[in-house]
Chain A
């Protein structure tokens, strides 16, 4: 217990924490992110209703406007959609999916990118040339296109009845594959620098296997920028997923994300039920903004140490 308290105290005093406390933007961003992430993760417990429990839906409550307008009700704070689902609850559940897919694809992209970057930078030669050409080729395609391509291929290749269950992993894979290059490039650059440092040469003289040197010596020293890239990448991944879902090729309709909600609500935008699309849209913007701000601050705070 004392060890935890000690660790907490040291974390509080740490440069990073001090810089954090100093910046009101960072604190605001952190609180916002905490709110969004907390709400999303705890959706089943926090949401006022379960919008996916068909039994609890009442079609009479469909198309209710937000609570502060005429005909609104307090228990449907942000109104309801065409099926009587509470918009706030769908947002919370949707954010959960968005965040989940975003985080998972970033994790996948980071793992892939860091491994390829390490190998490329450390081994050099033909492997490096090959991986970097692969990266160059991929960069000439927009990320969305790549994700669409992979998703399309999967749909064709896999039997129709598995589509829904496989959709989310395939989505994570496609967004991940679309995004590995930035990690690989950065890690490769740092690896090239570290590889020539004397501590790596010392490890070689001791006789360590190149893989061991890459993992135990080089990797800890090149991970710094990866965290910053990942934070910003979460925001991009969420938007990519939202775009794909908006286009109808993302998450299955049984597990809507914020993107799906925006699309579904879009149909009702001009018939007057604006809240069904606007609120999920605002939620998406707020979530992405918060993550971006946090990433910005993280980059600045880590910079002197990176130098």
Chain B
């Protein structure tokens, strides 16, 4: 595949386990085995240059872990992550990492409270060598702050002097100051008020257009996702259950879990639409159900669902991992 058409990011059957066992001594004394939490389980997808792919799901579905796997905060326990065709686990790949950056959820914990804003924004510039002399760095920092609609004088202040929305802008300025191509956004607006969220979402969309960025947008809020995403991936208990173009997913959701999620969104339009009552809760990830992880809550579960894990298949333009859909039952 030529460079222009090659996907920017590609995940092949990526899994990540966390060791949540009790300390060694306790295990020996109590005769309890090791416990592994499989936070991400065989996830595969691609990200095309310039697009926004959203990963949605409820807490514990593994979407944040996928984000952290891509930027290298965790190493995959299995599978491969490629950036621009290069396996990120290979030795020469570390130089590729400067082309990706991350924005975090908590505006209060994502900025070092003891650093001035200008140092926070300048850090990637210095470390990645985008500029060297003090005047050049100051110049770039001012430019970054202006780009997120803050004043260059704000560089002298400390994070606690800013509101949540402004801090998120500083985070964005920091992420973009290293001139990355790819931005991983982990619930960037979940901690913000709705009116501030609107400002940040508009800003992020505008920046994407202006700078030609590719976004991986993690969120639990489907309405927010519908506003920014080109394609949407739905995750449940570490697995990718559906992946489709945004319009298609919202108009014609295929997987029962996707339908349940869409159904559960509060009805702001007050159309008085009938809702299928939602049942059950997300099971304990340490002890996932056999076969399809969703089968205990699924109104369409069959015998095959209880024993055999569904693999994603193409249903029209979408990718779905569901036996019932594959068998044409729904």
The answer to whether A and B assemble together is yes
Residues on A with C-beta less than 8 A from B178 are 206
B290 contacts A by Cβ under 8 Å: no
Given A204-B73, A205-B71, A205-B101, A197 and B109 contact (CB-CB distance below 8 Å): yes
A201 contacts B by Cβ under 8 Å: yes
A217 contacts B by Cβ under 8 Å: yes
Count chain A residues whose beta carbon lies closer than 8 angstroms to a beta carbon of B: 14
Residue of A with least CB distance to B103: A202
Q: How many Cβ-Cβ contacts under 8 Å join chain A to chain B?
A: 52
A83 contacts B by Cβ under 8 Å: no
Residue of B with least CB distance to A223: B114
- A221 and B113 contacting across the interface, CB-CB below 8 Å: yes
A220 contacts B by Cβ under 8 Å: yes
B104 contacts A by Cβ under 8 Å: yes
B106 contacts A by Cβ under 8 Å: yes
A127 to B97, CA, bound (A): 28
Interface string of A182-217 (1 = CB under 8 A from B): 000000000000000111011111111000000001
B77 contacts A by Cβ under 8 Å: no
Residues on A with C-beta less than 8 A from B112 are 199, 203, 217, 220-221
Query: Closest Cβ of chain A: how far from B282's Cβ, in Å?
Result: 23
Query: Closest Cβ of chain B: how far from A150's Cβ, in Å?
Result: 31
B190 contacts A by Cβ under 8 Å: no
Q: Is the interface of A mostly helix, strand, loop or mixed?
A: helix
B123 contacts A by Cβ under 8 Å: yes
Contact of B174 among A201, A202, A217 (CB under 8 A): A202
Residues on A with C-beta less than 8 A from B113 are 221
Residue of B with least CB distance to A220: B114
Question: Which residues 98-123 in B have Cβ within 8 Å of A in the complex?
Answer: 98, 100-102, 104-106, 109-115, 123
- A199 and B111 contacting across the interface, CB-CB below 8 Å: yes
B286 contacts A by Cβ under 8 Å: no
Question: Which residues 155-214 in B have Cβ within 8 Å of A in the complex?
Answer: 171, 174, 178
Residues on B with C-beta less than 8 A from A217 are 112, 115
- A207 and B109 contacting across the interface, CB-CB below 8 Å: no
Query: Closest Cβ of chain A: how far from B84's Cβ, in Å?
Result: 17
Contact of B98 among A197, A198, A199, A207 (CB under 8 A): A207
Residues on A with C-beta less than 8 A from B171 are 202
Interface string of A230-269 (1 = CB under 8 A from B): 0000000000000000000000000000000000000000
A231 to B94, CA, bound (A): 45
- A207 and B128 contacting across the interface, CB-CB below 8 Å: yes
Contact of A202 among B94, B102, B114 (CB under 8 A): B102
Residues on B with C-beta less than 8 A from A220 are 112, 114-115
Residue of A with least CB distance to B104: A198
Residue of A with least CB distance to B186: A198
A217 to B174, CA, bound (A): 15
B85 contacts A by Cβ under 8 Å: no
B36 contacts A by Cβ under 8 Å: no
Residues on B with C-beta less than 8 A from A207 are 94, 97-98, 127-128
Contact of A203 among B72, B100, B114, B123 (CB under 8 A): B123
- B105 and A198 contacting across the interface, CB-CB below 8 Å: yes
- A206 and B105 contacting across the interface, CB-CB below 8 Å: no
Query: Closest Cβ of chain B: how far from A252's Cβ, in Å?
Result: 43
- B128 and A206 contacting across the interface, CB-CB below 8 Å: yes
B57 contacts A by Cβ under 8 Å: no
Query: Closest Cβ of chain B: how far from A122's Cβ, in Å?
Result: 15
- A205 and B72 contacting across the interface, CB-CB below 8 Å: yes
Query: Closest Cβ of chain A: how far from B134's Cβ, in Å?
Result: 17
Given A197-B109, A199-B109, A206 and B127 contact (CB-CB distance below 8 Å): yes
B238 contacts A by Cβ under 8 Å: no
A197 to B109, CA, bound (A): 6
Extra contacts, 6 of them, besides A199-B110, A201-B73 (Cβ < 8 A), are: A197-B110, A198-B109, A202-B110, A204-B72, A207-B97, A208-B127
Give A contacts to B, CB under 8 Å: 197-199, 201-208, 217, 220-221
A-B contact pairs, 9 of them (CB 8 A): A197-B109, A201-B68, A202-B102, A204-B72, A205-B72, A205-B101, A207-B127, A207-B128, A208-B123
Give B contacts to A, CB under 8 Å: 68, 71-73, 94, 97-98, 100-102, 104-106, 109-115, 123-124, 127-128, 171, 174, 178
